[in-house]
């Protein structure tokens, strides 16, 4: 669903048009986008498929990173939330695998504002390819998110604490940020101070100053919880040895998004229980 609707299809007889019909051939799609990025100055290529199908395109995506080709990869259906297609189509290990890839920006925006911010940075980064992992399920626009905040990689979207000393820090990405916010609201009703951090791009957060990182994740606050509908691998560097990670370290299943989220513990109730255990 990423066609440039005001343009037709690029063909031999219509070279002025701008949509390329790649067909179901992910590796070829990524390779062609690399060629456009590296050999056609002025054109910024993007391509799109389900996030899980990056498995077929990973070689081309790695070449994007290695060759400093600023391709924009729009990856939809980014979690078990895609539902009834089942475990073959539900990415589990994919987020962490691309976070491990050098020179790749792995964005997982929480709403429309963060998506706009991620797209802006993807366009500006001409020597670093970007992945935008987007949910299938509808998401609300969240108070506190911003286009500007995405540039920091991770930033506070809600906080009722003072002196940089919240009782809990809940961090999340994408569709689970909404869940983190709901959990924070319940904990706040019980008299706790809670900070919610959207970690839209780990790579950009890691590039920030030590002072900024301390302003978001103060070293003195060890009661930290992460929630993400994917592998928990890697979150430990942010939650620390005393924190809790909520995620999915097994394959998915076939079920509607609300049901499978509940069955797999990707819920506000689970976040609250984890917080109270710290």
Contact assessment for residue 33 and residue 8, using Cβ atoms and an 8 Å cutoff: no
Total domains in the chain come to: 2
258: containing domain: 147-277
| Chosen domain end from 133, 161, 195 | 133
Identify whether residues 157 and 127 lie together within a single domain: no
Chunked into runs of 10 residues, the chain (278 residues) has average pLDDT values of 92 95 95 96 94 98 98 97 95 98 98 98 98 96 97 98 97 98 98 98 98 98 98 98 97 96 98 97
Q: Which helix (H) or strand (E) holds 48?
A: strand 46-50
What is the pLDDT at residue 40? Answer: 87
Report how far apart the first and last C-alpha atoms of the chain are (Å, whole number).
43
Active site residue 26: yes
Neighbour-count burial for 83-115, b at 16+ CB within 10 Å, e otherwise: beeeeebbbbebbbbbbebebbbbbbbbbebbb
Please pick, among 26, 114, 203, 228, the residue that the annotation labels catalytic: 26
pLDDT at 133: 98
Would you state the pLDDT for residue 91?
A: 97
Distances (CA, A) of 65 to 37, 78, 132: 12, 21, 15
Same domain, yes or no, for 79 and 159? Answer: no
Tell me whether residue 15 is in a domain: no
Tokens encoding 132: 């935008």
Last residue of a domain, one of 106, 133, 160: 133
């Amino acid at each position: 669903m990423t066609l440039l609707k005001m343009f037709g299809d690029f063909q031999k007889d219509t070279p002025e048009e701008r949509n390329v019909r790649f067909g179901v051939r992910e590796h070829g799609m990524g390779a062609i986008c690399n060629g456009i990025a590296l050999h056609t100055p002025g054109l910024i290529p993007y391509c799109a498929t389900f996030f899980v199908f990056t498995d077929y395109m990973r070689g081309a995506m790695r070449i994007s990173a290695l060759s400093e080709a600023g391709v924009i990869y729009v990856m939809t259906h980014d979690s078990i939330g895609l539902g009834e297609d089942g475990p073959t189509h539900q990415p589990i290990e994919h987020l962490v695998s691309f976070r491990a890839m050098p020179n790749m920006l792995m964005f997982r925006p929480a709403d429309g504002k963060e998506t706009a911010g991620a797209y802006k940075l993807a366009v500006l980064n001409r020597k670093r390819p970007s992945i935008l992992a987007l949910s299938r399920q509808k998401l609300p626009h969240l108070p506190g998110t911003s286009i500007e905040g995405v540039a920091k990689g991770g930033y506070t979207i809600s906080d009722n604490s003072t002196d940089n000393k919240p009782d809990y820090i809940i961090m999340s990405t994408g569709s689970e940020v909404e869940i983190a916010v709901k959990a924070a609201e319940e904990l706040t009703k019980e008299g706790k101070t809670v900070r919610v951090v959207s970690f839209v791009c780990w790579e950009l957060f890691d590039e920030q100053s030590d002072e900024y990182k301390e302003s978001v994740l103060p070293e003195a606050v060890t009661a930290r919880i992460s929630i993400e509908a994917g592998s928990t691998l890697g979150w430990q560097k942010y939650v620390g040895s005393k924190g809790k990670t909520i995620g999915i370290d097994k394959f998915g299943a076939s079920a509607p998004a609300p049901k499978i989220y509940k069955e797999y513990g990707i819920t506000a109730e689970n976040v609250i229980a984890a917080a109270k255990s710290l």
